[in-house]
Amino acid sequence: MPNPWGSIEERYRTGDLVEGVVVFIKDYGVLVRLSEGFDGLIHVSEMDGKPEDTLTLGQTVLVRIIAIDSHQERISLSLTQ
């Protein structure tokens, strides 16, 4: 099965607004599942308030993609931009 990150530029671009589901909450930020194989991080600096006070597990959120690093397989997201 091919690595989905090989085609990330075909699915997502920096600046896109996308929906995702909150799958993990920590003090430093929130992990959001954009689609199967693609999770992104909303760093606490890209949120209004503490992660645990702002979002809940399973919640659907609209986020902006602020950076994609296909080599390290990382997507940075924002709630505030």
pLDDT in tens, 54-67: 999 999 999 999 99
Is the confidence at residue 1, as pLDDT, over 80? no
Q: Residue 81: its pLDDT value, please?
A: 85
Q: What is the CATH number of domain 4-78?
A: 2.40.50.140
Report the alpha-carbon distance of residue 62 to residue 59 in Å, rounded. 10
Is the confidence at residue 5, as pLDDT, over 90? no
Helices (H), the chain: 8-11, 51-54
| Number of other CB atoms surrounding residue 59 within 10 Å | 14
Quote the percentage of the chain above a pLDDT of 90.
78
* pTM metric for this prediction: 0.91
Under the banding of pLDDT at 50, 70 and 90, the label for residue 24 is: very high
- Identify which of 36, 29, 46 has the alpha carbon closest to the alpha carbon of residue 11: 36
